[in-house]
Amino acid sequence: MKNNNSNDSGIIFGFLIIGVGVLILARKLGFFVPDWIISWPMILVAIGTFTLIKHGFKSFFGSVVLGLGLYFLFEREFGFDFGIERFIFPVALILLGIYLVTQKRKENNILADVQRKMDASMKNLDDQLNSGTSDSTSQGNPFVAKGATFSERLNVDAIFSGVNKRVMTKNFQGGKLTAAFGGIDLDFTQADFNGMVTVQVDVIFGGMKLVVPPHWDVRTEVTNIAAGIEDKRIYREAEVDPQKVLVLKGTVFFGGLEIKSF
């Protein structure tokens, strides 16, 4: 089942390519096609629109690119004089700088949080080794922690370790999942909830797999940096329950996030 709100970017991009091809073909065949439709500002408009649709109209980058495209389109192709051309370059640099600073700060906060958890995890492991005990369900243990959880709110950390659990609660309230140099495998097929719940997902040099019921509406709002996000569900619109919305937010950095259903 595919995410309803996070449109399939490959399909959207494919339709854009088809549209461009049709316009060029029509022009070659002698049909009237305005020059501005296949001008370079329209490329910026298409990229900005594509990016905004892909990110649910919440992309700063997409908004900037779309704005620049529309500005150059109206000024160069339709003769509009906004009188702000001399300000475009410095303002664009300022906006780019603000975007880079905010993104870097966000990444640094995530890395700092993971570093704290890694330090606590290693300390926990040292304590176990010094005491001569080994608990395979401990979060700091390098082995895989398995079992079932009935917690309504999850707080799972896999730091240099693996977590493989089945969520059994019938009143799931969301939570936070962190995988750093480790993996998290959660089975939600026996879980249930009503309304909308949010799960914070942070993956850094790790992997995460979530198995969800086929009727859940899963909305992925995750930032991926040098990472992969795979939604392997089979989309059946008739099965989607609008009263069960799971929102995934967070960052996947040099890792992978996989969503499946059976």
**pLDDT score of 125:** 61
Both tokens of 192, joined, read 């249930």
In this structure, is residue 252 part of a structural domain? Answer: yes
Distance CA 42, CA 256 (A): 34
| DSSP SS3 for 136 | coil
Distance CA 227, CA 121 (A): 24
Distance CA 73, CA 54 (A): 23
Domain tally, the chain: 2
In this structure, is residue 91 part of a structural domain? Answer: no
Averaged over successive runs of 10 residues, the pLDDT of the chain (262 residues) comes to 46 74 85 81 83 72 81 79 69 73 65 66 64 45 64 86 90 90 91 94 89 92 82 76 91 88 82
What number of residues does the chain have? 262
Full residue range of the structural domain in which residue 45 is found:
9-82
Task: Indicate the residue among 38, 67, 82 that finishes a domain.
Answer: 82
**pLDDT score of 228:** 84
In this structure, is residue 104 part of a structural domain? Answer: no
In this structure, is residue 217 part of a structural domain? Answer: yes
Q: Are residues 248 and 152 in the same domain?
A: yes
Angle between helices 40-54 and 9-28 (to 10 degrees): 160
Distance CA 191, CA 219 (A): 17
Q: Are residues 177 and 253 in the same domain?
A: yes
- Residue 137: what are its φ and ψ, rounded to 5°? -95, 0
